[in-house]
Structure 1
């Protein structure tokens, strides 16, 4: 009896993970789910909760922009929109590439993603690393955060436009990177700038309330839009469908080697990305179908996942295999 039940459980698990990617488009999440904060702690979420409309008023004005460079790798300098002095007196160098990092739900400037990606960039070379702290919205209930993401993203886009105007930086030197809800946020920022920035990278873009959401990250948000999907299993934390010019599905895009929880799978997206900034070593094969992604039978052309190359461009869906531990 125990053997039969064990076999049934394994069969159901395999079937869930083997569902082709396109079928995720109409996923209906249960009303009550759990979603992690930036420290990996699960929180109960009611997807029919009330939206805090009062909080959303002027929410983009609460955005905090912190600049890190090789001259100040550990202590961020605050950049303020409509305050040119805050920018001119900072270490921002328009001759260096700029990367903006946006965290996810219930997170802030101190969340692990920010330090890991910042250290990868500054450990490699000169760069302007701007950490967006949007905690005022991010710490609200999940459905309010989802509703406010487009406005916060628009605010980020307006800040970048102002930054370019003050410093003379070029849009083709700007890369927007966001994790989970932050992925949709940077997509909206790129849209506010009419897709002129060089790259937008979505790290396991959030799934709940986004599958059919017109405000989700898409290929029109930058010259090149890339997504890395690591937890797109049915009712997983990440969106399971292709959203950019190029979409990568490491290890099939559902669960990751060395992970025992959805949280670990979800976070692997930014861990993978940081590793590729340092080593540029993870290479995918283009897939012609979702079944190929699931069965690991992709035989198309090779394309590197992640990295900091702002001239990069590719299209299609790609699968690759990684190791269990850094640098994967």
Structure 2
């Protein structure tokens, strides 16, 4: 099935050259879709969306083609996760403590729960106190075919939401201090999680939400600012692998949001794309990313937001209560990346 799906998409991409290269705008009238070898294939938006709609219908009829696993980390087990399931026995025998805030962390394409971003973000939160950090491992992300991973996103989000709903209903977890944090495709999984919980998630953090095959004008099919009480986006490879237009209620643009210092010859954008995770882990542990408030996202991209620091820091735990709008974030080329002590 995966082979057929991949071949169908490749055929679609190969036939989609109605637009001349000079007319193509990534994310506006089509997408440059990443391939396993690091190259990109262009596909026009109308053709891609028709294909995606058809695949989504097939996916929704499938019984279980998107396996999802959950690993719990706490201060009692900061290095080795406990695999948990949505059963009372599993949660009761784990280190899950409903009195502590919970953080779900969701990886992106080609990754798994052992990815460096998960370790860094988990360690950052546990350095701040008692938390339940639940790392989501979704197997479909490891498909060599990006498009098939995109197709799986809604169903994976619903499965994460089911775990959230179980923990709220059966284990006493509160939505009022729940964060769902996702990188790239995982950011959109976080969005679908928020769309499907029984009640409103407090905060979603989108770490450079993936752009290819996601339409800014269709917020019901991507991470949206309404998917939680507060949604923050940290956008580091905008217009490439990630969105350039603001996704969150609070949208942050490190170095203008397109590329990142210390990422030379970043032809595919992978280095800049990954920096969103590195910055966020540092922000949680050090709270050191000062920002300038911008009139709009274009000003943030152009780095034309003045030189006066605002009171807002990127990734701060208090942002949910005070932040709205677009922010430019100066960053360093190496750690520590934040510019405020």
> TM-score category by the smaller chain?
0.7 to 0.9
Unaligned runs of 5+ in 1: 1-22
The question of whether the paired residues in 2 share the 8 Å contact of 1:178 and 1:202 is answered with yes
CA distance in 2 between partners of 1:256 and 1:206 (Å) = 16
Quick one: higher RCO (CA 8 Å, sep 6+), 1 or 2? Answer: 1
Aligned match of 1:321: 330
> C-alpha deviations, 1:114-138, integer Å up to 9, x for none?
1111111112211110000002354
TM-score (norm 2): 0.80
- Following superposition, the deviation at residue 204 of structure 1 comes to 0.2
How far residue 302 of structure 1 moved from its aligned partner, in angstroms, is 3.6
Counterpart of 1:294 (choices 291, 301, 305) is 301
Aligned residue for 2:194?
A: 190
Say if 2:38 is the partner of 1:42: yes
Q: Distance in 2 between matches of 1:58 and 1:138?
A: 19
Residue 314 of structure 2 is aligned to residue 305 of structure 1: yes
Distance 1:304 1:60 in 2: 40
Q: Deviations over 1:176-235 (max 9, x none)?
A: 0000000000011011126611100000000101134431101111110000000013xx
Q: Indicate how the Cα distance of structure 1 residues 98 and 318 shifts in structure 2: closer, same or farther if over 3 A, else same.
A: same
Residue 271 of structure 1: aligned partner: 278
1:24 CA displacement: 6.8
Residue 87 (structure 1) aligned with residue 91 (structure 2): yes
Does the C-alpha gap of structure 1 residues 171 and 79 become closer, same or farther in structure 2, counting only changes over 3 Å?
Answer: same
Choose the corresponding residue for 2:169, options 153, 165, 176: 165
**Aligned equivalents of 1:293, 1:278: Cα separation in 2:** 25
1:109 aligns with 2:113: yes
SS in structure 1 at match of 2:100: coil
Partner SS, residue 30 of structure 2: coil
Deviation of 1:55 (Å): 9.8
In the other structure, the counterpart of 2:16 is none
In 2, distance between residues paired with 1:134 and 1:25? Answer: 25
Distance 1:155 1:290 in 2: 33
Deviation at 1:60, TM superposition (A): 7.1
Aligned-partner Cα distance in 2 for 1:96–1:280 = 21
Whole-Å Cα distance in 2 between the matches of residues 67 and 151 of structure 1? Answer: 21
Task: Choose which of 178, 184, 199 in structure 2 pairs with 1:174.
Answer: 178
- 60 and 241 in structure 1: CA distance in 2 versus 1, 3 angstrom threshold: farther
Structure-to-structure mapping, 1:105-144, within 5 angstroms = 105-139=109-143, 141-144=145-148
Q: Secondary structure at the match of 1:96?
A: coil
RMSD: 2.5
- 1:113 aligns to what SS in structure 2? helix
Distance 1:90 1:107 in 2: 25
2:234 paired with 1:228: yes
Q: TM-score normalized by structure 1?
A: 0.83
